[in-house]
Structure 1
Amino acid sequence: MKKIINTSNAPAPIGPYSQAVLANGFLYVSGQIPINPATGELSKDSIKAETEQVMRNLNAVLMEAGFEFKHIVKTTIFLSDMALFNEVNEVYAGYFKSDFPARETVAVKGLPKAVNVEISVIAYKG
C-alpha cells in the first residue's frame, strides 16, 4: 500500500506528481527546487541560497511524513553546472552528521524554472 505525502510547507508540485510517496517503510521524495513555499518565489541569490531552500523544502516533506534527514538512504543531486559542486556540497554536508546516504551528483542540460540545483531523496524507517 502507498500513501501520498503533501505539505503546504514545501512547494506544490508543478506537474502530475506528488511531493512524496510512502511505501513499505520507504519514502520517495520528488526532486525539490529552490522555491520558497511561503511566497512562491525562487531563491536565486546564490547557489548556497538555492541549496539551503532546497534542503528546507526536503525537510518539510520529510517532517510531514514523520521522517528526518537521518532516515535518508539515497540522494540524487542535479546541477546546472558541475562548477557549482563544492558550494552545493558544503551546504548539503551541513544536514548530515554520520551514516551518510548513498548519492550521485550529475550535471544536466536544464532544470525546471532554470534553477541551478534540484535534489531528490529516498528515506527509510523500518
Structure 2
Amino acid sequence: MASTIIKKIISTSMAPRPAAPYNQAIVVDRTVYLSGVLGIDKDTGKLVEGGAIKETVMALQNIKNILAAAGSKIENVIKCTVLLNDINDFAGVNAEYVKVFTSDYPARTCYQVGKLPLGANIEIEVIAVVGDCKTEVVKDE
C-alpha cells in the first residue's frame, strides 16, 4: 500500500495575504514551493513605492518570512524565477538580489513579462528545501 504524501499549506501573517485563490507556499516532503511574491508591504497590503528596486527589497523580505514559516531559509533556495515588468531594471534588481543571495546562488531564470499583478514591477517565486543543506560544487573543466 502506498504511503500518503502530506501537502502542508503555509500561511504567515509576516507576509502579505494572497489576494487571489492561491497559498503563500506549499511544502511537500522536504520541498517548499512559494507562489510568486510581490513587493507588497504586509501592513498596508499595497506595493511599496519607489519602483523595481524598492519592490525587490520588499519581495525578498517577504520571501524570507514565508520560508521561515515553512521551516526553511533563504540559503536553502534551489530555484528562483524573477519576472520583470521592464528588463532594464535587471542590473538594479541584481544589486539587491546579491545582498540576499550572497553565495552558492540558486538556479535562476529572469525575464520581462507583459504585465504583473497590481501593476508591480517585479515578482519573484522560489523553490527551496527544508533541513540542513550541504553544498558541493561540481566543475567539469
Paired with 2:56 and 2:44, the residues of 1 have a C-alpha distance of 17
Of 83, 94, 119, the residue aligned with 1:78 is 83
Paired with 2:51 and 2:23, the residues of 1 have a C-alpha distance of 27
Does residue 61 in structure 1 map to residue 66 in structure 2? Answer: yes
| Structure 1, unaligned runs of 5 or more | none
Pick the structure with greater CA Rg: 2
Any residues of structure 2 matched to 1:1-126 within 5 Å, and which? Answer: 1-125=6-130
Residues 18 and 30 in structure 1, CA contact (< 8 A), matched pair in contact too: yes
Residues 51 and 121 in structure 2, CA contact (< 8 A), matched pair in contact too: no
Residues 79 and 118 in structure 1, CA contact (< 8 A), matched pair in contact too: yes
Larger displacement relative to structure 2 (37-46 or 88-97): 37-46
Residues 72 and 130 in structure 2, CA contact (< 8 A), matched pair in contact too: yes
Residues 34 and 44 in structure 1, CA contact (< 8 A), matched pair in contact too: no
Aligned pair count reads 126
Which residue is equivalent to 2:136? Answer: none
Shift of 1:40: 1.3
Percent pairwise identity:
40
Larger displacement relative to structure 2 (35-44 or 82-91): 35-44
TM-score, scaled relative to structure 1: 0.96
Structural RMSD (CA): 0.9
Cα deviation code 1:27-84 (max 9, x no counterpart): 0000100110011121121321111010011011011111111100000000001100
Paired with 1:85 and 1:36, the residues of 2 have a C-alpha distance of 22
Which residue is equivalent to 2:139? Answer: none
